[in-house]
C-alpha cells in the first residue's frame, strides 16, 4: 500500500470516478453522485494498492473562531476504506499521515465529526461539547440555506499545536463537514 497526497484541483477524471464510487459505497444513503458531499476538500490523502484506490480522506485547512479566538484547524472529511480491505490498517495509516501533517504545519487542532468515535479515540481524539455555528448548504442543489447553530455529539478534536481547546462557541466560518 502507498499513500499519496493530491490537491483537489489535480484529481483526474479516472480518479474522480473511483473516488465517487468509493464514497457512494462507504456512505450509501447520503452520498450524491460526485466525489464530495457539500464542498470539495482542499486536498486528499489517497491510499492505493497497486493502481487501485482502496481508501481516502479529504482534508480542509481553515481558520475557525473559538470563543472569539482564531484557531487553525485541519478538518477531516469522509475517511473511508474499501470494504474488502477493511481491517488491514488502511484507515489507521491514512490517519497517521493526517496526524503527521497536523504536527508538521502550523495547525492547532484536527477536527472531525465521527459516526464511530471509538475508532478515533484509539488515536488520540476526544469528543468536545461546543455550540457550533456554520454555513448551511443544501447538498442536493448546492445552494446556501442559512446559518446553522447546534451542538453535536459527533464533534471530535485532537490537539496538535500549543493552543488548548475550550468549551463554548465554535464558529466553523464555513460549511459543516
Q: Per-residue DSSP letters for 89-138?
A: SHHHHHHHHHHHHHHHTT-SEEEEE-S-HHHHHTTT-EE--EEEEEEEEE
What whole-number percentage of the chain has pLDDT above 90?
90
Q: What is the pLDDT of residue 150?
A: 97
Pair 107, 71: CB distance under 8 Å: no
Distance in Å from the first CA to the final CA of the chain? 27
Which residue is it, cell 477536527? Answer: 111
Q: What is the pLDDT of residue 140?
A: 87
Q: What is the pLDDT of residue 172?
A: 98
* CA–CA dist 40, 18 (Å, integer): 16
CA distances from 4 to 9, 30, 34, 133 (A): 15, 26, 21, 33
List CB contacts of 172: < 8 A, sequence separation 6 or more.
Answer: 62, 64, 132, 133, 134, 135
Interval 17-34: pLDDT, tens: 999 999 999 998 888 888
Per-residue pLDDT of the chain (177 residues; tens, 9 = 90+): 999 999 999 999 999 999 999 999 999 888 888 898 889 999 999 999 999 999 999 999 999 999 999 999 999 999 999 999 999 999 999 999 999 999 999 999 999 999 899 999 999 999 999 999 999 999 888 999 999 999 999 999 999 999 999 999 999 999 998
List CB contacts of 166: < 8 A, sequence separation 6 or more.
Answer: 66, 67
Q: Which secondary structure element, helix H or strand E, spans residue 14, and what is its range?
A: helix 13-26
Q: What is the pLDDT of residue 28?
A: 87
Q: What is the pTM of this model?
A: 0.92
The residue among 165, 159, 166 whose CA lies nearest residue 74 is 159
Amino acid at each position: 500500500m502507498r499513500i499519496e497526497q493530491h490537491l483537489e484541483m489535480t484529481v483526474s477524471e479516472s480518479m474522480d470516478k473511483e473516488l465517487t464510487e468509493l464514497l457512494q459505497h462507504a456512505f450509501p444513503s447520503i452520498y450524491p453522485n460526485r466525489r464530495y458531499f457539500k464542498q470539495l476538500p482542499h486536498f486528499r490523502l489517497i491510499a492505493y494498492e497497486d493502481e487501485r484506490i482502496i481508501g481516502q480522506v479529504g482534508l480542509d485547512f481553515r481558520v475557525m473562531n473559538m470563543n472569539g479566538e482564531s484557531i487553525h484547524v485541519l478538518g477531516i472529511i469522509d475517511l473511508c476504506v474499501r470494504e474488502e480491505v477493511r481491517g488491514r490498517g488502511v484507515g489507521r495509516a491514512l490517519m497517521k499521515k493526517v496526524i503527521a501533517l497536523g504536527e508538521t504545519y502550523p495547525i492547532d487542532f484536527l477536527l472531525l465529526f465521527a459516526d464511530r468515535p471509538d475508532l478515533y479515540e484509539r488515536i488520540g481524539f476526544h469528543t468536545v461539547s461546543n455550540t457550533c455555528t456554520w454555513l448551511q448548504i443544501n447538498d442536493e442543489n448546492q445552494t446556501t440555506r442559512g446559518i446553522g447553530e447546534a451542538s453535536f455529539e459527533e464533534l471530535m478534536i485532537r490537539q496538535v499545536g500549543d493552543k488548548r481547546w475550550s468549551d463554548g462557541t465554535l464558529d466553523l466560518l464555513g460549511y459543516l463537514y
